[in-house]
């Protein structure tokens, strides 16, 4: 009996390294004695932040399903766990479950390749966007335009203050005239 070859690619789009993986809930029958199976080539690996790994998987053709579960351990002491059926790569058994963790994990299939994409949690994405915005603001202010804006603002403030002073003086003079005319 033969095997069907597929590929799984895990993309770590987070800012945190995956320091270790743990594969479990896998039936060895589904992969026979191939070295290209999750417990042999996806277990105990690391994936740097903003990097990916890709591994071939040999699926035993008579097996109706080839599911497994994997836990990803991150350098920030958090973990995410998901399960997927590798027969999904060959048009069967679209089973995916993200059972533990806060990261966004998505999946797709292209040409017998399952692609798993791990993104930062929604709150972390917002925080990173805020940090990037702050950096961009600092970059623009560090190019000297901030000094120009400060000078313009100071000049504008001085002009407003002068106008207010003149207005007060004119107002006081007008008030004095009215008081004198009534007496």
- pLDDT per residue as tens digits for the range 125-171: 556 656 666 666 666 555 555 555 555 555 556 666 666 566 666 66
Q: Under 8 Å CB-to-CB from 13, ≥6 apart: which residues?
A: 50, 117, 118, 119, 120
Q: Which residues pair with 55 in a beta bridge?
A: 8
**pTM to 2 decimals?**
0.66
**89, 114 Cβ separation under 8 angstroms:** yes
Q: Could you tell me which residue, 156 or 12, shows the higher pLDDT? A: 12
pLDDT tens figures, 55-93 = 999 998 888 898 999 999 999 999 999 999 888 888 887
Question: Is residue 10 scored above 90 in pLDDT?
Answer: yes
- Fold of the 3-120 domain: Mutm (Fpg) Protein; Chain: A, domain 2 (2.60.270)
Helix residue ranges, H only, 29-121: 38-41
Minimal CA–CA distance to 26: which of 82, 75, 69? 69
Q: Reduced to 3 states, what is the DSSP secondary structure of residue 25? A: coil
**62, 3 Cβ separation under 8 angstroms:** no
Q: Reduced to 3 states, what is the DSSP secondary structure of residue 53? A: strand
For residue 131, the model assigns a pLDDT of 63
Q: Reduced to 3 states, what is the DSSP secondary structure of residue 67? A: strand
């Amino acid at each position: 009996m033969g095997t069907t070859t597929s590929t799984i690619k895990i993309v770590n789009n987070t800012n945190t390294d995956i320091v270790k993986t743990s594969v479990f809930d896998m039936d060895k029958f589904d992969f026979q004695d191939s070295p290209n199976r999750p417990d042999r080539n996806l277990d105990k690996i690391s994936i740097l932040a903003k990097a990916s790994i890709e591994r071939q998987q040999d699926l035993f053709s008579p097996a109706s399903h080839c599911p497994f579960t994997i836990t990803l351990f991150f350098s920030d002491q958090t973990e995410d766990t998901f399960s997927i059926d590798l027969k999904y790569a060959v048009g069967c058994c679209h089973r995916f479950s993200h059972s533990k963790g806060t990261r966004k994990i998505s999946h797709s299939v292209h040409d017998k390749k399952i692609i798993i994409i791990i993104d930062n949690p929604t709150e972390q994405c917002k925080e990173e966007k805020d940090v990037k915005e702050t950096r961009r603001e600092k970059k623009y202010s560090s190019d000297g335009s901030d000094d120009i804006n400060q000078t313009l603002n100071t000049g504008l403030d001085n002009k407003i203050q002068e106008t207010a002073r003149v207005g007060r003086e004119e107002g006081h003079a007008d008030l004095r005239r009215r008081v004198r005319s009534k007496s």
